[in-house]
Amino acid sequence: MDGKIFSAVEVDLRGIKLARFAPVLFVLLWSTGFIGAKYGLPYADPFMFLSVRVLIAALILFAVAAVMKSPIAIGASAITRSSVIGFFLHACYLGGVFYSISKGLPAGVAAVVTSLQPVLVSLLAVKVLGEQLKIKQVVGLVLGLIGVVLVLGPSFEQEIPASGVIGILVALMGSTAATLLQKKIGGDVPLISGTAYQYLASGVVLAIAAIATGGTRIQWSGEFIVAFIWLIAVLSVGAILLLLWLLNTGSAASVSSLLYLIPPVTAIEAFFLFGEKVNTQGFLGIGITALGVWLVIAN
């Protein structure tokens, strides 16, 4: 990573005392991804939707890098590593989530399956990254998982299509691999231009997938445009940069544990936006999840 850019970002965060709120901001931003998908997917095929979204995000980030005088020619090694991370994080994770929802998998079920990622990352990080888990962190991971299941338990009563299950399992594996790879090989890649190359590579892969499956439809309705702009500006630029920053400054297990908060927060957002009910069991699950995440990330 470009030392000057990363240092400047870190200093700015500390200077305005934002660093301590970065995890909360990440959860709030990331949780809107499922909301944006629900708004946008009726108007577009999933892989084409994502391909256009991430390619535009790549152009935006290349422009930002140029304005900030961040190096765009970062070398073959950094570009290759960014492309591999991007493949797992954007093509596999986002592609899997959008594909599974488009095939009828309830968004709540998709959220709870991908929320198993902290468990996989924590277990693999011990071996792959040499990180050590404390007893309270193990307890926190278990509590987080229990909380998520309580929140979204009623969703499992619905019939789940096989294609949706395959898609969401690909998403789970993709997000797990991307998190570990970012910690292991992505830490010294310039944040902005490296993310742009992630998007560029994954956008090409998603475009090929869209053409191969015949899913190239986009209907540019007003609702789709609003969801599209939100997903690019807030998710593809803001939330992804924040996620990579968090991974570069914290442990993989601590950052991944934040994903436990995504389904409960998404459930609250869906209540206000779509009228989806959160029962007493759900509120209990939200509390247990919050406690579990605090145990994992607290010093």
Cβ-contact 200, 122 below 8 angstroms: no
Residue-wise pLDDT tens digits, 53-82:
999 999 999 998 999 888 898 899 999 999
pLDDT cut 70: percent of the chain above it: 84
3-state secondary structure of 44: strand
Q: Mean per-residue pLDDT for 115-143?
A: 77
Number of domains, the chain? 1
The rounded distance, in Å, linking the Cα atoms of 239 and 232 is 10
130-152 pLDDT, tens per residue?
Answer: 777 778 878 887 887 787 777 66
* Start-to-end Cα distance in the chain: 26
Report the mean per-residue pLDDT for the chain: 82
pTM comes to: 0.77
Please say whether the beta carbons of 93 and 16 come within 8 A: no
Q: At what angle do helices 95-102 and 22-40 cross, to 10 degrees?
A: 40
Strand, helix or coil for residue 87 = helix
Residue 38 pLDDT class (50, 70, 90 cuts): confident
Indicate the pLDDT class of residue 93, thresholds 50, 70 and 90.
very high
Residue 19 has a pLDDT of 62
Could you tell me the residue range of the domain that residue 53 belongs to?
Answer: 3-297
pLDDT of residue 46: 94
